[in-house]
Amino acid sequence: MNWNLSFLKNKKTIVGGLAVVAAFSLLSFTSGSQLFNAAKNMELFAAVLKEVNTYYVDPVSPNKMTKKAIDAMCKTLDPYTVLLAENDIEDYRLRTSSQHADIGILFLKMGDSVFVSMVKQNQPAVKAGLQCGDRIVEISGESLSGKSNEEINKMLVGSPGTVVNIKVFSASTNETTTKNIVREEATEKWVPYYGLLDDETGYIQFTSFMEHGSKEINDAIDSLKRQSHNGLKSVVLDLRSNGGGLLMEAVNIVNLFVPKGTKIVDTRGRLTEAQRSYATLNEMKDGKIKVAILTNHNSASASEIVSGCMQDLDRGIVVGTKSYGKGLVQVTKPISYGNQIKVTISKYYTPAGRCIQVLDYSHRNGDGSVGKIPDSLKHPFKTKAGRTVYDGGGIEPDVLMPDENISLVTKTLKEKNLLFGFAVKYFSLHPTTNSTAKDFSMNENDFNDFVKYLSNKPFSYNTNTEKKLEQVKKSLTKENYIAQFDAEWRALEQKVKHDNEKDVLKNKTELMKELNRIIAGFYFHEKGEKENTFKTDDDLQEALKVLHDDVRYKQLLSMK
């Protein structure tokens, strides 16, 4: 960070002058008593910094202290108002950019080995014949031993049109070959997958509300209509784990299903320029097609505008779990010394008038969800048809589904890449399949092989019960009670101690689902991995049931 404040030492008058300058700068956005309080506190901050910098017993860093003070100040506001230091701005720009030049793979490390974990559709790697499970031996003649993920990624990316030489050991042929792959400037697809679930129902996965996202959805609908023999009657728009993005993309997406001139969202804030109303600008694409929107606890911001607006206008149903609850608008402003601040200036309000933002910024569940908000803190609003909906944090689905709870053994096996490791072994033994991506499934013998595979693979975890029991044991030991219960305690520990193999067998269905998905990706790449989840996706299957039941669909959208 480029905070050049070290010159302050022994120059008290300069520090005092900073406070005066800062106070006068506040005139641009405040007045009266607020100006006085702001100027007084700026002067107080400068005075403290000056005295500490001059007299503190040990050397101090004004840069670090100021950065921490600013971070702490922003944390008292909301989680999204943050300082972007000069050396972080380029990273921020790259994260929000959709263009880069690479070969179109994902990789993961298992010990000293690096494997291709996903090959993206229509990218240079798949054209060159790279497959999931291939072990990358060298990149441009350089071994990957000891390389970090960041270092490997830098070796793969480069200027468009340049060639990267990758030596790989193939899991399917057991041969080592060198691929000369030309890097292409790849534009990220915000619709990574779309397809027909049946002849009358389409599915569109949408991952981010970035530029041209609404056009990608529009094009996907056109393609689905061409593929459908009897006419496309329904569409499922999957916004799960979509963290949002550009507001106008949300407006344009809703515009596909509602008439021109329909109010979509209001933004309200202190400043005049923050007070805006957004309405659809174009003729709608299809006013009759039935729509189901999938949300989860990580559907945020623009995802909540689309789902909340479609709900308020009674234009589609929402299926899944309550959304994240981020209804705040940020802008990025340049400030001194090359730094920038991303600051919240307004809140989103849906057509019914409800605020999406969660009431309490600081308290969330481990998965980021809002949790249960007392009814006394919620306010009722009416949809276009007179249905009652509520504010208070996120969008409550019309069809509320249970949270997905992944077992501890499955989480552990995923984190240690043991599921992927078995998939590599499986693929090497079965390099081809007669199954389709949607129907691919391991059989009983395959799962038994998986259990045997794990038998010599060390993995460990502690259940919540074991963790709590350990805490009690520490307390008993500290207070000298443990000796009195030695035999009983050892018996209790033995009873609650988990068994890896039993846990694997107990969670067979869940583990089979994960293994089928990963292995389908080996055969059918990114598209196949997605299609393999359809039959076991409870949210999607419930949305399909509603879309196929005209009576229930209309009831959900009518006044209750």
Q: What pLDDT digit, counting tens, does each position of 474-515 carry?
A: 887 888 877 777 777 777 777 777 778 889 999 999 999 999
CA-to-CA separations, 408 to 162, 194, 296, 495, 507, in angstroms, rounded:
44, 32, 21, 18, 10
Residue 414 lies inside a defined structural domain of this protein: yes
Q: Do residue 183 and residue 308 come from a single domain?
A: no
Task: Single out the residue in 187, 206, 241 at which a domain terminates.
Answer: 187
Q: Do residue 517 and residue 483 come from a single domain?
A: no
Look at residue 109 and tell me whether its pLDDT is greater than 80: yes
Cα 554 from Cα 538, distance rounded (Å): 21
Helix, coil or strand: residue 176: strand
Look at residue 7 and tell me whether its pLDDT is greater than 50: no
Cα 120 from Cα 100, distance rounded (Å): 14
Residue 527 has what pLDDT?
93
Q: Do residue 120 and residue 174 come from a single domain?
A: yes
Cα 285 from Cα 219, distance rounded (Å): 11
Range of the domain at 36: 6-76
The overall longest dimension of the chain from CA atoms, in Å, is 82
Tens digit of pLDDT for each residue in 307-341? 999 999 999 999 999 999 998 888 888 888 788 88
Q: Are 356 and 318 in contact (CB under 8 A)?
A: no
Residue 88 has what pLDDT?
62
Look at residue 257 and tell me whether its pLDDT is greater than 80: yes
Average pLDDT over residues 264-279: 93
Q: Do residue 353 and residue 485 come from a single domain?
A: no
Residue 418 lies inside a defined structural domain of this protein: yes
- Number of domains into which the chain is organized: 5
Q: Encoding tokens for residue 140? A: 């441009």
Average pLDDT over residues 511-537: 96
Q: Do residue 64 and residue 124 come from a single domain?
A: no
pLDDT band at 16 (very low <50, low <70, confident <90, very high): very low
Look at residue 354 and tell me whether its pLDDT is greater than 90: yes
Q: Could you write out the DSSP letters of every residue in 262-314?
A: -EEEEEE-SSGGG-EEEE--S--S-SSSEEEEEE-TT--THHHHHHHHHHHTT
The neighbour count for residue 63, using CB atoms within 10 Å, is 15
Q: Do residue 176 and residue 117 come from a single domain?
A: yes
Q: Do residue 226 and residue 252 come from a single domain?
A: yes
Look at residue 91 and tell me whether its pLDDT is greater than 60: no
CA dihedral 151, 156, 158, 161 (to 10 degrees): 170
Q: Do residue 202 and residue 70 come from a single domain?
A: no
Q: How many CA atoms lie within 13 A of 522 on its CB side?
A: 30
Tens digit of pLDDT for each residue in 131-141? 999 999 999 99
Look at residue 47 and tell me whether its pLDDT is greater than 80: yes
Residue 94 lies inside a defined structural domain of this protein: no
Angle value at C-alpha 472, between 467 and 478, nearest 5 degrees: 125
Average pLDDT over residues 262-289: 94
Q: Do residue 305 and residue 412 come from a single domain?
A: no
Q: Where are the alpha helices (DSSP H) in 131-284?
A: 149-156, 213-227, 247-255
The neighbour count for residue 541, using CB atoms within 10 Å, is 14
Helix, coil or strand: residue 343: strand
Q: Do residue 209 and residue 306 come from a single domain?
A: yes
